[in-house]
Amino acid sequence: MSAFSEALGFFALNLAVVFVIVRFIYYPQQPDKSYVLTFFALNTVVYWVVSLMQDSTLSLGAGFGLFAIFSILRYRTDTMLIREMTYLFVLIALPVINSMLIAQGALEELAAANLTLVVLLYVLERGWGFVYEAHKAITYERIDLIRPENWEALLADLQARTGLPITRVEIGRLNFLRDSAEVHVYYRPEAVQHPRISAVNRRPSGGSDND
């Protein structure tokens, strides 16, 4: 087998792992064309840049240097969600790891690294062993219901208005001049009947949705 054919074979292996991660783990949760394009394109570019560098120290530095450059140039202009940034980091670090292990001839370590990464992402996305809550911040005008003795009525009113299976409520900032309060509601996303509707309002981490 020629060196060129071998290089294409290892690239196909790297691309196959990326396809599994993006198509079957990331994409079912967030079918966003922009991110899918970014993940595949950056992974491919980083793989070929790093694979063309024989020195492992240069390869490692170049791989993470490219990640820093892309972060500064593009991702400062439009804040990415933590989940997308995590996938971006994984899919940039992956070709660096693969190219270094291939150069060292460590094929067993190569298989183990890719397999453990795919399995870990799959398990975490499925939420096995974890119970997650989604959060919304609501400006609420019935300030009389925020009193502790009225919390059952408050919960019932919020559930009726939002249609969400709310599990708990937290009272935030109060505005007595406008007779309103900032109410934080928590619910189980898997219990929502129409998850695609709620997914439209995804915001960067630290933000909230105001009704």
Rounded Cα gap, residues 92 and 60, in angstroms: 11
Determine, yes or no, domain membership for 164. Answer: yes
User: 173: number of CA atoms within 13 Å, CB side?
Assistant: 6
Query: Tokens 């505005």 correspond to what residue?
Result: 175
Do 110 and 171 lie in one domain? The reply is no
Counting the structural domains of the chain, the total is 2
Determine, yes or no, domain membership for 208. Answer: no
Rounded Cα gap, residues 135 and 139, in angstroms: 13
Do 118 and 139 lie in one domain? The reply is no
Confidence of residue 202 (pLDDT cuts 50, 70, 90): very low
Do 192 and 114 lie in one domain? The reply is no
> Residue 30 pLDDT more than 50?
yes
Determine, yes or no, domain membership for 206. Answer: no
Do 89 and 146 lie in one domain? The reply is no
Determine, yes or no, domain membership for 210. Answer: no
Do 105 and 7 lie in one domain? The reply is yes
Give the full edge-to-edge strand order of the sheet including 180-187.
Answer: 134-140, 180-187, 166-175
Domain that holds residue 71: 3-126
Q: What is the DSSP letter of 77?
A: T
Highest mean pLDDT among 42-46, 49-53, 97-101, 138-142: 138-142
Final residue in a domain of this structure, among 78, 95, 126 = 126
- Average pLDDT for 143-172: 92
Final residue in a domain of this structure, among 70, 99, 126 = 126
Do 59 and 120 lie in one domain? The reply is yes
Do 142 and 122 lie in one domain? The reply is no
